[in-house]
Structure 1
Amino acid sequence: MNAKRISGKLRLGVLAGVVAALATSAQAKEWTSVTIATEGAYAPWNQTLPGGKLGGFEHELLTTLCTRAQLKCNLVAQDWDGMIPGLQAGKFDVLMDVISITPEREKIIAFSRPYASTPATFAVSDDGILPKASPNAAAVKLTGDAKNDQAVVDGLRKQLKGKTIGIQSGTVYTKFIQDNFKDIATIRVYKTAQERDLDLANGRIDASFDDLTYFLSGSVDKSISVAGPKIGGPIWGPGEGLGFRKQDADLKAKFDAALASAIADGTVKSLSEKWFKTNVAP
């Protein structure tokens, strides 16, 4: 094969890549409207209201962010499992659904600066499974390092041995439960938190694991109560952020600037206290 032809093809390929990148950059700088995906089923973070409208903490935060970024935002409901594939396929431009920023996800998509940081906990409908949580207890800080976290995890393993734990699929909490309890407990994975809660309330599983703010929202069955320690710290990453395609760096910059403003002037704090009765601002 002719070496010059190979070289020419490489140059053409590089040139095409540069042109495509410039085109993408030019297009990205013209953002005036964006489509943002949320689950609409994780109250009080996001929820579907009577009549089909979306609401919740993230919806209200998004409203002020879009105003600050001078963007017209269209919020649409999307199942959790299809969010990242839909983003990459161009179905929408931004994800906002309590998405924890993790190294694994950062390999695939870009994240804004965090807009919230919250602990997780177990919930039960039978107080005999785990002791009730103390409302004023501080969160236990886990690092994600098995050696450092061993004492806390071992204590929970003893209490949950032989039990059935429910978890929503595809969350940062799913991995924690699978990694630490699958050898001593039955793990049941659900598409939605509501399906899991229904089984917990009806005694088909013994415990569930999720964000503390979700269980305290008042939207779960009254028979369900938080139990065991609150678990926070580096194990969950820096917090929750908006998700973007990696090439949309300028769109991310717009939302980063809007978030910095909303955090600095206390908007995130006031909205979180309205919806969660506690400050989740990072």
Structure 2
Amino acid sequence: MKFVKTVSLAIVGSALAIGGASAQTKTVKIATEGAYAPWNFTTPAGKLDGFEIDLANDLCKRMKVKCEIKAQDWDGIIPGLTAKKYDAIIAGMSITPERQKAISFSRSYANGPNGFLVAKTSPLAQMPGTGQTYNLDTQKAETEKVLEAIKPLLKGKAIGVQGSTIHAAYAEKYFKGVADIREYKTTEAHDLDLAAGRIDAVLADSVAIVESLGKPEFKDYVMVGPGATGGMLGDGVGVGIRKEDAALRKMFDEAIDSALKDGTISKLAVKWFKVDIAPKS
């Protein structure tokens, strides 16, 4: 993975004054994981690619700044931001109250449910709630009812999740003591264990699962279970920014609004995910 040389921030032209302070930027350093296809990933040639790489470049053009995008391990991505190793995070990061204690977020640029990836021959393939999506903010009782219905199927099963994610927290809250929850450093790692039969299911973002299903080794697998959004799963995916960088947050908000209004984010979502997960409001 490549790491980009740190450069200073300055806004092209006049300064943006926020709360009496001015901030200037001409180059914005952005961290992404580079291991969360199709959101972001590293090609065999070492190049970063994916939905968020295309999006980051588009947003920077709208903001009239230069983008420098670097790969950063997921488990250190927020500490790296607060330590000022880069200026923003664009890495499939959901906006949650817990993360908002440490950093700020732009408005959301994507929002999609989670799901389970399992073998077609697994008993889990008959999981109740498949094809249904629930919102934990507006349908908490309905969501928890269907989750209770799938617990008997999950009893004693091993479920893989990426550590330090909303999916890990969701599994811990709803399935701890029922299933064996195993945390992995990357989604690629839990996919490998699923394909090898070392775990029974993967719980992840639905678009990441769709990406896995496109691989030859997962031709006999299927996405099942009730999808959920909202609540502890957050208010969609946004750009992570330091709390004090209000000017930069405003720039990203305006650029995302523009990209949503002209359909760019919807087009990029369909290109990479085969489905439009752009926020509708």
**Same fold by TM-score greater than 0.5:** yes
Deviation of 1:179 after TM superposition, in Å, equals 1.0
1:243 aligned to which of 240, 243, 267 = 240
User: What is aligned with 1:30?
Assistant: 24
Give the 3-state SS of the residue equivalent to 2:55 in structure 1: helix
- Matched with 1:231 is 228
In structure 1, list runs of 5 or more residues that go unmatched: 1-21
The 2-side partners of 1:275 and 1:87 are apart by 26
Q: Relative to structure 1, is the Cα distance of residues 31 and 186 closer, same or farther in structure 2, using a 3 angstrom cutoff?
A: same
More strand by share: 2
Separation of aligned partners in 1, 2:216 and 2:35: 12
Asked if structure 2 preserves the Cα contact closer than 8 Å seen for 1:201 and 1:221, the reply is yes
Secondary structure at the aligned position of 1:44 is classed as coil
- CA displacement 1:57-89 (0-9 Å, x = unmatched): 001111110000011110000000010000011
CA distance in 2, matches of 1:216, 1:128: 18
1:69–1:255: 8 Å Cα contact kept in structure 2? yes
The secondary structure found in structure 1 opposite 2:217 is: coil
Note the alpha carbon deviations across 1:193-212, whole angstroms, 9 max, x for none: 11111111111111110011
What's the % identity of the aligned pairs?
44
Shift of residue 220, structure 1, vs aligned partner: 7.7
Deviations 1:86-118 (A, max 9, x none): 001111110011100001111110000000000
Contact persistence 2:124–2:153 (CA under 8 A) = yes
- Once the two structures are superposed, residues 187-237 of structure 1 have per-residue CA deviations (whole angstroms, 9 ceiling, x without a partner) of 111011111111111111111100111111225832432122222344422
**Correspondent of 1:261 among 258, 261, 264:** 258
1:267-282 aligned at under 5 Å gives the runs 267-282=264-279
Aligned-pair Cα RMSD in Å: 2.3
User: Which residue of structure 1 aligns with residue 217 of structure 2?
Assistant: 221
Secondary structure class of the residue paired with 1:216: helix
Q: Secondary structure at the match of 2:112?
A: coil
- Which amino acid in the other structure matches residue 212 of structure 1? S
Deviation at residue 133 of structure 1 after TM alignment? 7.7
2:99 aligned partner: 105
Between structure 1 and structure 2, the one with the greater Rg is 1
Contact 1:94–1:244, Cα closer than 8 Å, also in 2: yes
For residues 1-282 of structure 1, what are the structure 2 equivalents within 5 Å? 25-26=21-22, 29-125=23-119, 127-131=121-125, 137-143=131-137, 147-217=141-211, 218-219=214-215, 221-222=217-218, 223-282=220-279
CA shift in 2, pair 1:62/1:106, >3 Å: same
Give deviations 1:24-55, integer Å, cap 9, x for gaps: 943xx211111100011111110111321101
Matched-pair contact (CA < 8 Å) for 2:27–2:65: yes
Partner of 1:10: none
SS in 1 for 2:68: strand
3-state secondary structure, aligned to 1:221: helix
The letter of the residue matching 2:251 is: K
- Greater helix proportion: 1
Q: Specify whether residues 192 and 106 from structure 1 end up closer, same or farther in structure 2 by C-alpha distance, changes over 3 A only.
A: same
Asked whether the 8 Å contact 2:143–2:228 carries over to 1, the reply is: no
- Contact 1:40/1:77 (8 A) holds in 2: yes
Amino acid at match of 2:180: T
Once residues 38 and 87 of structure 2 are traced to their aligned partners in structure 1, the CA distance between those partners, rounded to angstroms, is 23
Relative distance call for 1:33 and 1:132 in structure 2 (3 A) is farther
Contact 1:114 1:240 in 2 (8 A): yes
- TM-score between the two structures when normalised by the length of structure 2: 0.86
